[in-house]
Each structure stands twice: as C-alpha cells, then as structure tokens.
Amino acid sequence: MRALVIRHDHLSLSGPVGDRIAQLGYEIDELTVVPAERYDRPGVEFDFPDPVGAGYDLIVLLGAPWSVYDRASVGPWIDGELELLRTAHAAELPVLGICFGAQALATALGGSVEAAPRHEIGWSAVESDVPELIGAGPWFQWHFDRFVVPPSAVELARSAVGPQAFRAGRALGVQFHPELDEKTLLQWLDSGGRREARAHGEDPDRLLAETRARHEESRQRAYDLVDAFLEQIAGVGTAAETADDPGRAA
C-alpha cells in the first residue's frame, strides 16, 4: 500500500498522523510543494503527480500558512493541487485533508474558503455528530480561514467559528490539526508563530506547555482518527488491527 503525503511547506510535518499510517503498513511518499528558501515567496511552479497513474492508495494533505484563495501568494501550484483532488475524488481514492488541505479539498469539490470571523489558535473542543469518527478533542487549531462545505458533502463537526469536519465520498476534511506535536509547534513558533500568536492575544509559551502536557492523549487521538478514517470513510480497515497494536502500545 502506498500513501502520498503532501507537505505544502517545510515546517509542516505529518507527526503522529504519518506515524500511524506507517505503522499500518503504508509506504509513504512525501512531497514538499514550497521549499524552505521560498517560504516567504511561495508562488512556485510545482508538478503534482497523477494519483491514479502513480498507484497511490491514500492521499494526505497537510496544512499551510497561506490561504487557498490568495492567488497573489500561492500562485499557480494551487490549481494543480485542486486538479489532483478532483482526479482522486473521481477515482474514489481515499483523501484526508488537514486545515489548508481540507480547505483545498472543499474548494476542489465545489465548496469554498473564506476568512473566518475570528482566529482559532490553541487547544479546543469541537461539536461532533459522529464522535466515533471525530472525537470532541481537544484538538489543536491555528487558522484564520474556514471552509464552506461542498454541496455534495456532509458536515460532521463544527465550532463556534465554523465547520470543523466534512465527508465527501471516501474523503475527509478536518479544520483542526491532528498531526500537531511539540516538534511541529516549535518549528511554527520559531518561524514567526510567536509573533503571530501574541498579535492575536495568545501566549506562545502557554501553547507550547499545553502541547507538551497533552502529548500522550493527543497522539492517541490522532491514531484513533486515522484508524476511524480508514475504517469508516476509506473502507479499507487498519491492516489487521495489528495484533500487538504498536500505535496503542507506544
């Protein structure tokens, strides 16, 4: 089994989401769209693979610090990503979109992305219609936009700011960050996140301390989300539930 993980920038890691996918037997190909030297000028040229022709069984799209609709910043590569998502959806390939990835998924399937009425930064619970798939959390959030659920999709969870999860066929989009761990947060904070958090009234040191304190529980929630996505949305199970279940024993 092969999984394609799309990293939009060098600071976004797949964390426990990627760990769980690997534990379940997937060979992971990671592609980074915007290299580190172009982080401040992300309008690069990028050729996305044909997910069907390349033989992928799963696609995971991570977050990004930009907006899907900000063509002046992201430039031409967003069109290639939207086409990849439409191709995957038409071929019924399982897709998990996270934050920016979920917003791109929503856009590709006929929804849209808009500025949220206020930011969400930090750990917070969500209201879920399907707790066996999307737990209440708390989940880590860091976003200023929100997606509008595509007409053919079903909203699964929400917060006071907007939708938090939707399903469209074998695709799942989540606004929050199940992949977030201390390593990723440190990279964000050290690359302008501290300043951004303070500008929006958030304490970056508190965010980091809470992330460290929640390490075990948040990792398990990420594993559970991946398992539930594969079983309930992708319909592929979790590779024998791994007799010793290394994800849960870790």
Residue with tokens 């992949």: 179
Query: Is 89 annotated in the active site?
Result: no
pTM attached to this predicted model = 0.93
Statement: residue 243 has pLDDT above 50: no
The percentage of residues in the chain with a pLDDT greater than 70, rounded to a whole number, is 95
Strands (E), the chain: 2-9, 27-34, 58-61, 95-98, 112-124, 127-128, 139-148, 154-158, 163-168, 171-174
Residue-wise pLDDT for 8-22, tens only, equals 999 999 999 999 999
Answer yes or no: 202 catalytic. no
- The answer to whether 99 is a known catalytic residue is yes
Contacts of 195 (CB under 8 A, 6+ apart): none
Domain spans in the chain, listed from the N-terminal domain onward? 2-181+217-242
For the domain made up of 2-181+217-242, the CATH class stated in words is alpha beta
Sheet holding 163-168, edge to edge: 27-34, 2-9, 58-61, 95-98, 171-174, 163-168, 154-158, 127-128
**Separation CA 74–CA 115 (nearest Å):** 16
Q: Which entry of 8, 99, 119, 196 is annotated as an active-site residue? A: 99
Q: What is the pLDDT of residues 222-235, one digit of tens each?
A: 999 999 999 999 99
What pLDDT, on a 0 to 100 scale, did the predictor assign at position 75? 85
Supply the mean pLDDT for the chain: 94
pLDDT tens-digit series, residues 88-127: 999 999 999 999 999 999 999 999 999 999 999 999 999 9
- Which residue in 8, 119, 143, 177 is the catalytic one? 177
Rounded-to-integer distance, Cα 121 and Cα 124, Å = 9
**Cβ neighbours around 198 below 10 Å, total:** 11
Active-site residue, from 81, 120, 179, 196: 179
Average pLDDT on 44-51 reads 96
Specify the amino acid at residue 49: P
Q: At what angle do helices 215-228 and 15-23 cross, to 10 degrees?
A: 50
Q: Do residues 184 and 9 touch, judged by C-beta distance below 8 A?
A: no
SS3 string, 89-139, reads: HHCCCCEEEECHHHHHHHHHCCCEEEEEEEEEEEEECCEECCCCCCCCCCE
Q: Residues 141-198: pLDDT tens digits?
A: 999 999 999 998 999 999 999 999 999 999 999 999 999 999 999 999 999 999 999 9
User: What integer pLDDT is reported at residue 238 of this predicted model?
Assistant: 65
Instruction: Please give the structure tokens belonging to residue 227.
Output: 């398992």
